[in-house]
Amino acid sequence: MILAANFKTNHTRASTKAYINGICEFVANESYDLPIMIFPPATALDTVALPGNVTAGVQNAYPVASGSFTGEIGTQQLDEFGIKTVLIGHSERRHILGESQEFIAKKYQYFRDEGYTIVYCIGEPLEIREQGDDAVKAYLEAQMVGIDAEYDHLVLAYEPVWAIGTGRTATPELIASTHAMVKAMSDRPLLYGGSVKPANTKEILSVEGCDGVLVGTASWELESFTSMLKTAKELQA
Ligand code: PGA
């Protein structure tokens, strides 16, 4: 059961450091041994020194070692911080930053060839969900085009766009049926994301075919995220 925290454009170096220290303390005090992934902003990657079950990743990177790509970071910069985990295909990069499936697949292939752990996100917007299961399936399949679904270091995340940052969570039934759809495309671990918070973590982690959660808003406060970790530990016991 993997719990992942996506800070997005939140937290500073100082607050990330305090948060990471809090996670380290929590892991030691609670003997927490399930995998945790944290995606701080790129400016705070150097504050990260972590126990073995906790991994820091980058929210985005350019598929290159180095070069002339103003504003981007490549593997040369990530190597300096020992980062070998990257988030690819997040809906905010697809829909706000305009990344195409073609570019996303190129990125995926590059970081796969470099041996990175890839958290690969897929998810449909509301208008597709409203058209029913076949439309959702076709939409999610299109987001798997060019993606090596058998890659050993792949973790998938199903995140319906209409549930991200909206407070609107998918029902356990919808998560179960959509996860079954995605599981038919890849047998890699599959997280759910979209308004996961302490109050619904237990219900969501209990869904058949849900191997963890990718949390945005509710991960930004340390106590909120650690309470979700506690729930995961209780379920695992
Ligand atoms: P949210 O974000 O938890 O704020 O809905 C999830 C995500 O974007 O990964």
Secondary structure (3-state) at 201? helix
Of the candidates 11, 90, 92, 124, the residue annotated as catalytic is 90
pLDDT given at position 168: 84
Distances (CA, A) of 156 to 77, 183, 214, 230: 25, 10, 10, 23
Structure tokens at 182: 């995605």
Does residue 12 or residue 166 have the better pLDDT? 12
What are φ and ψ of residue 191, in 5° steps?
-95, 155
Of the candidates 92, 99, 124, 159, the residue annotated as catalytic is 159
216 CA distance to ligand 1 middle (Å): 4
Instruction: Tell which one of 155, 159, 175, 213 to mutate to probe ligand 1, the residue whose CB is within 8 A of the most ligand atoms.
Output: 159
- Is residue 49 pLDDT above 80, yes or no? no
pLDDT given at position 165: 83
pLDDT band at 185 (very low <50, low <70, confident <90, very high): very high
Atom of ligand 1 nearest to the CA of 157: 9
Q: Is 130 a catalytic residue?
A: no
Determine the average pLDDT of the residues in 17-23: 95
pLDDT band at 166 (very low <50, low <70, confident <90, very high): confident
CB count, 10 Å around CB of 90?
A: 28
Determine the average pLDDT of the residues in 68-74: 97
What are the pocket residues of ligand 1 if the criterion is a CB atom closer than 6 Å to any ligand atom? Answer: 6, 159, 164-165, 193-196, 214-218
Q: Is 159 a catalytic residue?
A: yes
Q: What is the mean pLDDT of the chain?
A: 96
Distance between CA atoms of 19 and 33, rounded to whole angstroms? Answer: 18
| CA nearest ligand 1 atom 3, residue | 216
Determine the average pLDDT of the residues in 67-74: 97
Asked whether 161 and 126 are in contact (CB, 8 A), the reply is yes
90 CA distance to ligand 1 middle (Å): 10
| Neighbour-count burial for 96-119, b at 16+ CB within 10 Å, e otherwise | eeebebeebbebbebbbebebbbb
Summarize pLDDT for 89-139 with one digit per residue, the tens. 999 999 999 999 999 999 999 999 999 999 999 999 999 999 999 999 999
Atom of ligand 1 nearest to the CA of 194: 5
